[in-house]
Amino acid sequence: MQPSPTAFPPDQVESPQPKMIATSPPVQDHRIDTPDGVLFCRVWSPAVSGARAPIVLLHDSLGSVELWRGFPEALCAATGRQVVAYDRLGFGRSDAHPATLALDFIAREAENGFDTVLRHLGIEGFILFGHSVGGGMAVNCAAHHAGTCVGLVTESAQSFLEERTVKGLEEAREFFKDPAQIARLERYHGDKARWVLDAWIESWLHPEFETWSLREVLPQLRCPALAIHGIEDEYGTTRHPELIAELSGGPTRLALMPDTRHVPHREKEAEVIAMVAEFVRELP
């Protein structure tokens, strides 16, 4: 998911942070060819490189590489690991998606964009961090690549469709009737902004999406997992991370954050980075 008015405040959009500062880790951008278009990918590398598994970020329904803001850089510095983020097809600096988003798009990402990024960068073992719908995608990617995924972090991930999720989507639909809000999305997605918005709201509110859940894929997980969730999340109750912990095939730790809504890595960045750094410390 992503942003209600409170989760996507004007100051987060109108004042982009600089990509690099003097102490920033080296950053490298990639353009990756796929059969359906070109993907944009960015890699942050620590000052001291090693053979440790990189952390791959999967963005939310309105997200992009740029909308991770300074989080990837800070995560790279705190963990000493390479951090990778990419724009899914149709988002950010990636090419436009050639069609309407298929309703099984959450599961499909494991074999489409994500798999392509791994091959292009030559990544074998990896850790996943997925925010919102990116969390559901991360679960599918971890299950699909169970032999090479060494750790999984979900943040504000939906694991099924519940009343609070639907209510948040309906409120967002009203919010984005304001042309000014579409213009804000265009700053990051260009003329793809309307497609991005429809891919989020119309997919999740489609009648055939009502029975979607992660229940079948969660038992396929084998790696350790950390499920982060804000107790005040406007798109889902704590039942979502609880279900991830209950059904996961690997050991899972719950991290429920009080006074936190749908975007913990923005609202309480230092706390999230500290939790993730501790979680990945003993991983390969």
Alpha-carbon gap, residue 71 to 58, rounded angstroms: 13
Chain centroid to Cα 177, Å, comes to 25
What does the alpha-carbon distance between residue 152 and residue 20 come to, in Å, rounded to a whole number? 27
pTM attached to this predicted model: 0.92
* pLDDT tens sequence across 4-47: 433 343 333 333 343 433 467 799 999 999 999 999 999 999 98
Whether 63 shows a pLDDT value over 80: the answer reads yes
Token duo for residue 246: 């209950």
**Mean pLDDT for the chain?**
92
What is the pLDDT at residue 48? Answer: 82
Q: Name the percent of the chain lying above pLDDT 90.
A: 89
Q: Give how far Cα 227 sits from Cα of 23, 77, 111, 233, Å.
A: 30, 22, 23, 14
**Residue 258 Rama label (left phi>0; alpha psi -120 to 50; beta):** beta
How confident is the model over 127-177, as pLDDT tens digits? 999 999 999 999 999 999 999 999 999 999 999 999 999 999 999 999 999
Q: What is the 3-state secondary structure (H, E, C) of 217-275?
A: CHHHCCCCEEEEEECCCCCCCCHHHHHHHHHCCCCEEEEEECCCCCCHHHHCHHHHHHH
Q: What is the pLDDT of residues 83-126, one digit of tens each?
A: 999 999 999 999 999 999 999 999 999 999 999 999 999 999 99
CA distance 191 to 183: 10
Check residue 190 and give its pLDDT.
98
Within 8 A by CB and 6+ apart from 223, the residues are 142, 146, 149, 150, 151, 152, 250
Q: What is the per-residue pLDDT for 23?
A: 60
- In this prediction, residue 6 carries a pLDDT of 35
